[in-house]
């Protein structure tokens, strides 16, 4: 097994475990019939090519070491998508209260969006993974954003890849106004939040009623 594969394996384990745990928050809200602040969760281990690019950018040695993992902070990356901007604060608080990870850094690109128009809330957490060589504490980045923020960021990320950050003026302006449109979309959705959530609760009850196999054991037995 290559040195990189060995080095990355606790990060992969952290991503796998954290995906299950963060998705678990969604199902737990479902069980108590409460609208979940978590819409969906994704995760990835930073591709080696991106690790390489980042070491060049930051002037770090491209060598598998704990120090590199700590310098980059995002080798293990999770992303939590929320429906509404207010859900982000609920999710960050749930993360701060957990005992299985420790928040070491927070960056609020929602109150202070990036010049590109990027908005998201970032947390860096220390997370211990149990391996056959004992406990290894790794850093993981958790990005928390709305669906609208995510839509904008994924489009901008693809374009960034294409233009290597050197956007033509026209594209730059369009992206700025798309970021404003995403911001307004979040505001509009927040203003009709209770309407939306009532409709969603009604819809999920209706789905359960028309498909008894979705009912919980308790409900089926009564
Ligand atoms: N699409 C998009 N994503 C961004 C942007 N800025 C930050 N991100 C995401 O947020 C991550 C961390 O960014 P920062 O908080 O700026 O961290 P940093 O170490 O100062 O910056 P990087 O060196 O870019 O990782 C990046 O790796 C991206 O996934 C942006 O302008 N557009
Ligand atoms: N915390 C994260 N959770 C889930 N996916 C992520 C996270 N960070 C980045 N990604 C996604 O993983 C893919 C590859 O990651 P990569 O590290 O190249 O992106 P990046 O972190 O946005 O880039 P950069 O290191 O240049 O800032 C991209 O599609 C990116 O959107």
β-bridge pairing 76-82 and 134-146: parallel
Ligand 1 center–CA 21 separation, angstroms: 24
> Is there an atom of ligand 1 within 6 Å of 46 CB?
no
Q: Where are the alpha helices (DSSP H) in 32-140?
A: 48-58, 66-72, 85-96
Cβ 107 under 6 angstroms from ligand 2: no
Please give the pLDDT value at position 218: 44
The number of the ligand nearest the C-alpha atom of 46 reads: 2
Q: How far apart are CA 8 and CA 22, in angstroms?
A: 21
Which of 109, 158, 166 has most ligand 1 atoms within 8 Å of its beta carbon, as the pocket-test mutant? 109
Q: Which domains does the chain have, with CATH numbers?
A: 3-148 (3.30.460.10)
- In contact, 143 and 109? CB cutoff 8 Å: no
Helix intervals (H) in 66-146: 66-72, 85-96
Residue 56: per-residue pLDDT = 97
CB distance 45 to 76 below 8 Å: yes
pLDDT of residue 33: 82
What's the pLDDT at 214? 57
42, 43, 44: which to mutate for ligand 2, most atoms within 8 A of CB?
44
Quick one: 144 exposed, middle or buried, by C-beta within 10 A (0-12, 13-18, 19+)?
buried
Cβ atoms of 81 and 146 within 8 Å: the answer is yes
Q: How far is CA 29 from CA 22, 23, 24, 38, 144, in A?
A: 12, 10, 9, 9, 18
153 lines ligand 1 (CB under 6 A): yes
Regarding the beta carbon of 156 and ligand 2, being less than 6 Å apart is answered no
pLDDT in tens for each of the 222 residues of the chain?
A: 599 999 999 999 999 999 999 999 999 998 898 899 999 999 999 999 999 999 999 999 999 999 999 999 999 999 999 999 999 999 999 999 999 999 999 999 999 999 999 999 999 999 999 999 999 999 999 999 999 999 999 999 999 988 988 889 999 999 999 999 999 999 999 999 888 888 888 877 777 777 766 555 544 443
Q: Residues with Cβ < 8 Å from 64, sequence gap 6 or more?
A: 3, 4, 6, 7, 8
Which residues pair with residue 201 across a beta bridge? none
CB 21 within 8 A of CB 100: yes
CA 178 – CA 124 distance, rounded (Å): 28
Q: Which two tokens stand for residue 36?
A: 């979940």
Supply the pLDDT for residue 221: 46
Cβ–Cβ under 8 Å, residues 142 and 126: no
Strand ranges, E, within the chain: 40-45, 76-82, 102-108, 121-131, 134-146
Q: How would you classify the pairing of strands 134-146 and 121-131?
A: antiparallel
User: Can 141 be counted among the known catalytic residues?
Assistant: yes
Cα–Cα distance measured from residue 196 to residue 54, given in angstroms and rounded to the nearest whole number: 41
């Amino acid at each position: 097994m290559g040195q990189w594969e060995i080095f990355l394996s606790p990060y992969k384990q952290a991503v796998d475990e954290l995906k299950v745990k963060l998705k678990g928050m969604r199902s737990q809200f479902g069980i108590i019939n409460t609208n979940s602040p978590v819409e969906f969760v994704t995760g990835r281990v930073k591709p080696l090519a991106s690790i390489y690019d980042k070491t060049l950018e930051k002037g770090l040695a491209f060598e598998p070491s704990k120090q590199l993992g700590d310098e980059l902070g995002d080798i293990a990356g999770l992303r939590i998508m929320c429906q509404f901007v207010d859900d982000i604060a609920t999710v960050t608080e749930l993360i701060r209260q957990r005992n299985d990870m420790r928040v070491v850094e927070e960056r609020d690109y929602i109150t202070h969006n990036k010049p590109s128009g990027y908005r998201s809330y970032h947390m860096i957490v220390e997370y211990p993974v149990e391996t056959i060589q004992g406990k290894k504490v790794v850093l993981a980045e958790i990005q928390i954003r709305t669906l609208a923020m995510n839509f904008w960021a994924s489009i901008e990320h693809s374009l960034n890849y294409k233009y290597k950050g050197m956007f033509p003026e026209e594209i730059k302006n369009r992206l700025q106004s798309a970021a404003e449109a995403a911001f307004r979309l979040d505001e509009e959705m927040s203003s009709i939040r209770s309407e939306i959530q009532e409709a969603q609760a009604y819809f999920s009850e209706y789905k359960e009623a028309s498909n008894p196999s979705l009912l919980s054991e308790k409900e089926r037995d009564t």
